[in-house]
Structures are given as C-alpha cells and as structure tokens.
Amino acid sequence: MIPALILFAVTYVLMLIFGKYRPCIALTSGLVFICTGMLPLEKILPSIDFNVLLMIIGTMGLVALFTESRMPMLLSDLIMERVPNVKWAAVALSLFAGVISAFVDNVATVLMIAPIGLSICRKLKANPVPFIISIAVSSNLQGAATLVGDTTAIMLGSSLQMSFADFFWYHGRPGMFFMVELGALLSALILLFIFRRENAPVERQGERTKVTDPVPTVLLSLSLVCLIAVSFIPEKPSVTNGAICCALFAVGLVYKLLRTRRLPSLLPTLKEIDFITIGMLVGLFLMIGGIAEQGVIDAAASLLSRVGGGNAFVLYTLIVWGSVVISAFIDNIPYVATMLPVVAGLSPVLGMDPTPLYFGLLSGATLGGNCTPMGASANITGIGILRREGYEVKNRDFFRIGIPFTLAAVIPVYILIWICFGI
C-alpha cells in the first residue's frame, strides 16, 4: 500500500506544479501502476469509465457544432433586446451563461457569451472586467445542475449510475438541479448589488445574429431528449449515455460533410474536442484503479471517518467545505476523480446512504472554483479573453465577485442537500 500511496502523492504534486503537463503526468503514473503490477492487467479496462469518456467526447463535439451555427449569439441578442440598462444586462448575461452551462461545457459557455459582453461594454464604454468574471462564475455554478453540465457531474453520474432525470428528481426527492438553481437565484441578487450603480441604458445592438444552420441545435436538443428517455430504461448497458452523445455527434459530422462536401471542414470541429482532458482522465482512472487495488482508498475512507468522529453530518460538512477550499486552488477533475471512490468507501463504514456525501462533493468541488482566478478553467478562459483585449484582472477584482457569489450559492445547496438526503 505504501508504494502506491507514495506514487499517488508524487503524481498529484507534479500535476499541481506542472499544470501544463498534467495529462502526460497522469498517463505516465497510470503506466507505472500497470508496469509495477500494482494495477493487474485484467483490471485495466474495468478501471476506465468509458461512459464518462464517450459522453465528454460526444458532448464537446455537439457543442462545437452548436457554436459554429451561431445559435448562442442569436439567443444572446434576444436577451439583450429585453433588458433596460447595463446592470440588468450583466445579470441577464450571467444567468443566460448559467442556463447554457447546465447543458454545455463551462469553457465553451464562456467562449460563447463573453464576446457579447465585450461588445456591449465597448458600445457603452463600460469596464468589461466584472462582466466577464460574472459570466465565468455563473457558468461554473450551473455545471452541477445536470448530468451533462460539467465533467465532474458526468463522473458523479456514472459513479452512482444516475440518469439524466435523476439530476432533477432522485429517490423521490428534489435533485441537484433544483438546489443549484436556488443557489443561482440567490447569487443573482449578489450580482444586482455589485452592479447597482451601472444604470446606463442598453441600446439595440443592430441586426440579430443569423443562424447559419439549425441542425446542430436540433441534434443538441435531441441528445438531451434521448438522455432523458433512456433514463427510464432499466438495466441498460453502462455506456448507453456515452454512445448516444457520440452517435449524434457522428450524425452531425456526416451532415456537415454532406453540406460542405469538403473533408477539411471537419477539422475545426474536431479540434474543439479536448483530447488533452480525455487523456488526463484515462491516466487518472488507471491511477485510481491502482490505489484502490492496493487498499489506499479503503484506508482513506477509514481515516476520514475517524476524523469526522463517525458523525454523518460532521463528515458531510467536512466534505462540502473541504471541497470548496481545495477546489479553489486545484483543478476539480482530479480531485473529484480521487474522492469518488473514497466517498463510496465511507458508506459501509458509517452504515449510511452516501447520497448527501456524493452531492456534497459535487457541489463543493464545482462551486469552490469560483473563489480564485485559477480555481476553474472557465475563470482562466475569461481572464485570458480580457487579457487579449488589453485588460488586467487583479485578484481583488475577482475576489469581489467570486467569493460572495460562491457563498451565496454554496450555503443554500449545503443546507438543502442535507435536508433532502441527510436527515
């Protein structure tokens, strides 16, 4: 067990120090686990969650086609036509980003919505920094609302064998969707207070964006319908959700090829699939399979149980707020990948339903990234957009929005999860 624990710790430290090389580090560590026999050959494939990988690939591809069609821009135009001033424009854009990110990758959401915010700010000669920060933190928030909203949600859903519908209603009780949306409403009040002095009127932005092709929107909508439909099918194959997403993405690629009659036209779409993240996840799955095989996961679960004094509520609190703090400084994907089997190991130790622990992990890890500029990929993306536009984002600028936003979102979710599933 000790060699596996040392290798895991060294891997994690290296990923923190050399963020650019995380996929290589994770894959190398996975190979070391295999080559040393700490992860037996027959356990390699069972350690990899192919449903997660396929869902991510398919969803990223559909989102790329959706973005190319300019439909998100049209939706943003429609919202802007209905807001009276800059304050409500900022709040509306943030809420819209949140709605989109419930079904679309957080980074993709920021890339879609940020240009609209920049355009409005240029016309009104307003500072775009708080606009873009608000869009980024809002997109992070609602990534936990649905099965396809964020990589961590996909990982949790697969671990618990949750369907798309389970995020709305789980075991006869309100699911994560409603809890996250309550947090979103309360965080919107925070944004209204932050932008309370921005009362300049919003003028019409010219002609509405014209959608180049409605088919990607249909395919993305169809993926959601299919995910909901299969959620009612019992004992389906474990890769069903991933297969649906990839199949519809393949349909989208074939349609685009037939439409353009140019094979190179597919390259921009394929480039939007983050194979680096996919590679990192494969390495993490192998690494976690190795430490599980060596008994590290069981030992960690026992230790965490002792720290919590065997009290379920104390343990739940530690997981939620510990996840918030940790995810403020490190990427939540490797953290959640590591903690999921630990939480699974806590259930038999405590003799309790692990649902509040799982949901607490997801909410804390997802929302904690809003506390710091480097806590989430969406934050980094938003800051990068501002930097390219010549704007410097100081830490205090981010903290002024991110920290109160996070607290307004986490606290109600923390309370509701325990009320619904812990009591």
Check if the beta carbon of residue 413 is closer than 8 Å to that of residue 307.
Answer: no
Give the CB-side neighbour count of residue 71, counting CA atoms within 13 A: 17
Cα–Cα separations (whole angstroms), residue 397 to 90, 366, 385: 16, 21, 15
256 pLDDT band, cuts 50/70/90, is: very high
Instruction: Classify residue 249 as exposed, middle or buried by CB count within 10 Å of its CB (0-12, 13-18, 19+).
Output: buried
Tokens 């969650």, residue?
49
Mean pLDDT calculated for residue range 16-24:
76
pLDDT at position 204: 64
Neighbours of 160 (CB within 10 A): 18
Paired with 85 in beta bridges are 201
Report the run of H or E that residue 413 belongs to, with start and end: helix 395-417
Tell me how far apart the alpha carbons of residues 37 and 290 are, in angstroms, rounded to a whole number: 9
Give the three-class secondary structure for 170: strand
- pLDDT per residue over 55-78, tens digit each? 778 877 887 888 788 887 777 677
Paired with 169 in beta bridges are 174
Task: Of 91, 63, 66, give the one whose Cα is nearest residue 79.
Answer: 91
Mean pLDDT calculated for residue range 267-295:
83
One-letter amino acid at 163 equals: S
- pLDDT per residue over 31-52, tens digit each? 999 999 888 888 888 888 888 7
Lookup: tokens for 6:
């040392």
State the pTM of this model: 0.73
* pLDDT top residue among 213 and 332: 213
Quickly list DSSP for 349-383.
HHTS-SHHHHHHHHHHHHHHGGGSTTSSHHHHHHH
